[in-house]
Amino acid sequence: MIWDYNHEDLIIEFHYDYEPGEPMVWSYPNGDPGHPGSDPEVKLYKAMLVLSDINGQRIKVNVWPLLQHMYDLDTDDVEKEILEYHESE
C-alpha cells in the first residue's frame, strides 16, 4: 500500500504493509479458550521522494535509509496517521 505524506512542502510516498488486527475471542463455541486478539499494525518499508538529478531530470528516489537522520520527521507519526485512516474506513 502507498501513503502520501506532506512534510515541510515535500510529498513523501511511504510504502507500507497494514495488518488490521484481530478482535479478542473470549472462548470458542466448543468451549476452548479464546485469544487476547491483536492491535492493528502498520509497517513502513520504503519512502520515495521525487528529486532532480545533476541534469535536472526528475527521478524518484528511495530515501528510507536517510530517514533515520531526519530528526524532524518521526515515522511513528506517519504510522499513527495511516492507522487512523484505516480505522475510520
Which tens digit of pLDDT belongs to each residue from 12-55?
999 999 999 898 898 889 988 888 889 999 999 999 999 999 99
Euclidean distance between CA atoms 62 and 43, whole angstroms: 16
Task: With cut-offs at 50, 70 and 90, classify the pLDDT of residue 85.
Answer: very high
What confidence category does residue 2 fall into, taking pLDDT thresholds of 50, 70 and 90?
Answer: very high
Within 8 A by CB and 6+ apart from 5, the residues are: 11, 12, 13, 14, 78, 81
Structure confidence at residue 67 (pLDDT):
83
50-68 mean pLDDT: 92
CB 37, CB 23: distance < 8 Å: yes
Q: What is the pTM of this model?
A: 0.79
- Overall average pLDDT of the 56-78 stretch: 88
- Cα distances (Å, whole numbers) of residue 12 to 4, 18, 32: 6, 18, 47
Query: For residues 12 and 58, is the Cβ–Cβ distance under 8 A?
Result: no
